[in-house]
Structure 1
Amino acid sequence: MNDAPTPQASSTHLVLIPSYNPGAGVLETVRLARAQWTPVWVVVDGSTDGTAQQLQDMASGDEGLRVIVLPENRGKGAAVLEGISQAARAGFTHALTMDSDGQHPAALIPTFMQASLRRPGAMVLGKPVFGPEAPALRVNGRKVSNGWANLETLWMGIGDSLYGFRVYPIAPLMAIMQSHRFMRRFDFDPEAVVRLCWAGVWPINIDAPVRYLSAEEGGVSHFKYLRDNTLLTWMHARLLLGFVLRLPLLIWRRLSASGR
């Protein structure tokens, strides 16, 4: 007797997992996501660790799983853009993005999807709840990016700008990404939420645990402290200029919202 729950299915909302050299842990991530939701799409971003073939083998026996393989590594933002572009052509309107390395809580997929279904014009952002194993440098360092993101949106309510477990409305995200060529690498996440706020897409924040896996547990990190913080600094410099240009509109929007 199989007591496993039936995953919830949707013709409008899908789970999208960008994946680059995550190691074997991606198979468990996908299994957990599939236990919660149908469909799940994985975008393999030029991985060279053999996981593309393993995922394709999984998909061959699972109609609810689709694997898109990019021929070379283009960056997380580029992988998400490829996924949502194909999803839009297939009629989907929203995508929940999650990392492939096991850090994000697959069990909360239905909760986030239901929040999106109740307010389809909003984006649903995970607000990370860190365990004791989380590196202090990473936990405290993100406060800088969060501070800038909230300033750049005039405090529209971004709980966390970096946590990639979130539901995006596809149409406005596609329009923004197609207009901004820089949104292709790991710094895609904070730029996406800031620009979506500028476009009038309000955030909903939901607490969600985040796991930092050790190397012994199969954890894989592609974060490069100097390179990636340089990318974030350059991104916020661009966004700060955009914030200044949009300031009158943002002030008007906040005043209108407070007057309702």
Structure 2
Amino acid sequence: MTEHPSPPPSNSTHLVLIPSYNPGAQVLETVQQARAHWNPVWVMVDGSTDGTGAQLEALAAQDEGLKVIVLPRNRGKGAAVLEGITRAAEAGYTHALTMDSDGQHPANLIPHFMATSLAKRGAMVLGKPVFGPEAPALRVNGRKVSNGWANLETLWMGVGDSLYGFRVYPIAPLAKIMRNNAFMRRFDFDPEAVVRLCWAGVQPINLDAPVRYLTADEGGVSHFKYLRDNALLTWMHTRLFLGFLLRLPLLIARRLSHRFS
């Protein structure tokens, strides 16, 4: 007797959201792996010019669990996520697991992250990257600076990693924060989102998750620009630190109340 694969887990409140910009052919495998582990999966094509938008639309035409939304121009990861969670909320979803489209994130851990979120819906579930030997030392060590600032700015609420985009967000508080903030639209989205959600009282839960750095021969595509993106992060943390100083009495009071409650 032929065995048929079991359908992926699904939930009426949680979806997978994949922002995508010129990721190369790797995106097809990434999306198919995500679909193998969850239903539904939405892909936000952020003005891609490499033909992957049309390829994803063709894939979605054969898969009711896959939705592809093609945005007319590239506006940045944060802008694509905001558009996605806005539409997801209108459709009745309350939580979104974000993951990159370039094959770096572990699709097999989607059910685990979703189950953790379902058990504690008010929290955000943050991936804490486990690096392999191929990970560039500059990237691994450089993120420690951003993580240090994020922990200071949240008064050590427990952010395991500020930059890893494999995480589950509660949609309502994230959308509210983003609509009230003119920033958080590009590479600065992930760290600023986690800091501002902590300020809003959203508890972080950290789960280990492997991260892969694919070579060009393996189909890896990177849009990271060292000087440009580090300048963006520096400006972001400058703004966040000023916001931290304004909120410091509230953050101290919150930490004390949790300690003695």
The residue type paired with residue 130 of structure 1 is F
Give the distance between the partners of 1:113 and 1:258, measured in 2 at CA: 28
Give the distance between the partners of 1:43 and 1:85, measured in 2 at CA: 12
Question: Shift of residue 257 of structure 1?
Answer: 1.0
Give the distance between the partners of 1:101 and 1:3, measured in 2 at CA: 28
Structure 1 counterpart of 2:213: 212
Give the distance between the partners of 1:196 and 1:180, measured in 2 at CA: 12
Superposition pairs for residues 107-146 of structure 1, below 5 Å?
107-146=108-147
Compute the RMSD of aligned alpha carbons.
0.6
Structure 2 counterpart of 1:55: 56
Structure 2 counterpart of 1:7: 8
Give the distance between the partners of 2:109 and 2:6, measured in 1 at CA: 14
Question: Is the Cα contact below 8 Å between 1:5 and 1:35 reproduced in 2?
Answer: no
Structure 1 counterpart of 2:68: 67
In structure 2, the CA distance between the partners of 1:81 and 1:137, relative to structure 1 (3 Å rule), is same
User: Quick check: 1:249 aligned with 2:250?
Assistant: yes
**Which residues of structure 1 form unaligned runs of 5+?**
none
The CA deviation string for residues 194-236 of structure 1, in whole angstroms up to 9 with x for no partner, is 0000000010000000000000000000000000000000000
Give the distance between the partners of 1:28 and 1:171, measured in 2 at CA: 30
Give the distance between the partners of 2:3 and 2:233, measured in 1 at CA: 47
Q: In percent, how many aligned pairs have the same letter?
A: 79
Superposition pairs for residues 220-231 of structure 1, below 5 Å?
220-231=221-232
SS of equivalent to 1:145: helix
Question: Shift of residue 4 of structure 1?
Answer: 2.5
Question: Is the Cα contact below 8 Å between 1:10 and 1:38 reproduced in 2?
Answer: yes
The CA deviation string for residues 104-138 of structure 1, in whole angstroms up to 9 with x for no partner, is 00000000000000000000000000000000000
Give the distance between the partners of 1:14 and 1:116, measured in 2 at CA: 11
**Which residues of structure 2 form unaligned runs of 5+?**
none
Give the distance between the partners of 2:221 and 2:84, measured in 1 at CA: 22
The residue type paired with residue 134 of structure 1 is A
Give the distance between the partners of 2:218 and 2:95, measured in 1 at CA: 32
Structure 1 counterpart of 2:94: 93
TM-score normalised by length of structure 1: 0.99
Question: Shift of residue 258 of structure 1?
Answer: 1.1
The residue type paired with residue 63 of structure 2 is D
The CA deviation string for residues 145-173 of structure 1, in whole angstroms up to 9 with x for no partner, is 00000000000000000000000000000
Structure 1 counterpart of 2:191: 190
TM-score normalised by length of structure 2: 0.99
